[in-house]
């Protein structure tokens, strides 16, 4: 079960998620800090001290870090970052030489398509169960390492030469191991009658009968007969744009971009 299955970040009106640390919401960013010479907007000081620790459910632990965006950026839940000694976060790079050896690793749970440039603060998960952005080829019980795409990890059966280990972090399921069942209606942007949303989160790429190409989960909300997923677009800058189902029927849908993993205070601890 993903730690953010609950109210935070999903627009769920019911009391479906309770956090152990009141006042801490790991699914949103604080900020941005206003630019020099700009007044009357933004966050002058962060709400918490960087490096502060908060505990959550499902064994989760978060650390408060700083994130500077130099341009408009798509922030997707489950992306990996490494933190420096001052708890400033950098997205895991697809160019492995840009990933700092021995740096602490955290996963950000924020859904923020087209987040404007600025200085932000947020909670990076460093322990517990989580849905983590991953590349194809990950296996159940595989150990995490830096992947071939920015912000993503790979959980292979054996270490890949040239990548950095990002452990201890291990997968509970293989790539495409997270599935759910629901009903589509031709011309509608919704998958309905979903019995449970375990391991689902915003931004996950999904495939299945009746879905258009490049589908993602753009929203999750509670309905009288279960849960409902809004079908979004897996295109940079357009993640929150809805698109319609291409057929009517009940089917099983597969998540192809994330695995459920156990995070255990990982670091970029060695060069494979």
Q: Model-level pTM?
A: 0.87
* 164 pLDDT more than 50: yes
β-bridge pairing 215-223 and 205-207 = antiparallel
* 250 pLDDT more than 60: yes
107 and 185, same domain (yes or no): no
* 17 pLDDT more than 60: no
- 223: in domain: yes
- 186: in domain: yes
- 11: in domain: no
Instruction: Quote the pLDDT of residue 11.
Output: 39
- 161: in domain: no
What are the pLDDT digits (tens) for 35-44? Answer: 666 656 666 6
123 and 210, same domain (yes or no): no
222 and 265, same domain (yes or no): no
Range of 232's domain? 179-255
Which residue did the predictor score with more confidence, 29 or 40? 29
Residue whose pair of structure tokens reads 């941005």 in the numeric block = 32
What are the pLDDT digits (tens) for 113-126? Answer: 889 888 999 999 99
Q: Taking the C-alpha atoms of 125, 162, 150 and 242 in order, what is their torsion angle to the nearest 10 degrees?
A: -100
| Mean pLDDT, the chain, integer | 86
Where residue 137 falls among pLDDT bands split at 50, 70, 90? confident
- 150: in domain: no
- 251: in domain: yes
Instruction: Quote the pLDDT of residue 25.
Output: 80
Domain count of the fold of the chain = 2
61 and 126, same domain (yes or no): yes
- 24: in domain: no
In this structure, of 7-21, 74-88, 168-182, the range with the lowest mean pLDDT score is: 7-21
211 and 263, same domain (yes or no): no
195 and 126, same domain (yes or no): no
Percentage of residues in the chain having pLDDT higher than 90: 53
Instruction: Quote the pLDDT of residue 249.
Output: 97
In this structure, of 29-38, 61-70, 106-115, 215-224, the range with the lowest mean pLDDT score is: 29-38
What are the pLDDT digits (tens) for 177-193? Answer: 899 999 999 999 999 99
112 and 37, same domain (yes or no): yes
- 84: in domain: yes
Closest C-alpha to 187, from 249, 247, 251, 252: 247
- Distance, in Å, from the CA atom of 15 to the CA atom of 33, rounded to the nearest integer, reads 31
42 and 90, same domain (yes or no): yes
237 and 266, same domain (yes or no): no
185 and 123, same domain (yes or no): no
36 and 126, same domain (yes or no): yes
126 and 185, same domain (yes or no): no
Instruction: Quote the pLDDT of residue 239.
Output: 87
β-bridge pairing 249-255 and 258-271 = unpaired
């Amino acid at each position: 079960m993903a730690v953010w299955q609950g109210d935070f970040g999903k627009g769920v009106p019911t009391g479906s998620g309770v956090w152990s640390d009141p006042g801490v919401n790991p699914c949103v960013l604080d900020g941005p800090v206003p630019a020099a010479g700009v007044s009357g907007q933004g966050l002058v000081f962060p709400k918490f001290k960087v490096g502060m620790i908060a505990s959550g459910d499902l064994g989760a632990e978060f650390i408060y870090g700083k994130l500077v965006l130099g341009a408009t950026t798509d922030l997707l839940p489950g992306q990996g970052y490494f933190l420096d000694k001052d708890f400033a976060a950098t997205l895991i790079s697809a160019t492995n030489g840009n990933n700092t050896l021995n740096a602490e690793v955290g996963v950000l749970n924020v859904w923020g398509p087209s987040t404007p440039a600025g200085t932000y603060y947020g909670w990076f998960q460093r322990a517990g169960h989580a849905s983590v952005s991953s590349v194809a080829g990950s296996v159940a019980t595989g150990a995490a390492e830096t992947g071939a795409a920015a912000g993503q990890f790979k959980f292979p059966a054996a270490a890949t030469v040239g990548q950095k280990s990002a452990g201890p972090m291990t997968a509970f399921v293989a790539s495409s191991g997270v599935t759910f069942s629901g009903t589509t209606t031709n011309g509608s942007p919704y998958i309905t009658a979903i019995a449970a949303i375990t391991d689902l989160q915003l931004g996950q790429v999904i495939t299945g009968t009746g879905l258009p190409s490049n589908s993602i989960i753009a929203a999750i909300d509670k309905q009288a007969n279960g849960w409902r997923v809004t079908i979004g677009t897996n295109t940079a800058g357009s993640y929150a744009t809805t698109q319609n189902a291409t057929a009517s029927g009940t089917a099983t849908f597969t998540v192809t971009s994330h695995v459920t993993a156990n995070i255990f205070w990982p670091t970029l601890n060695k060069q494979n």
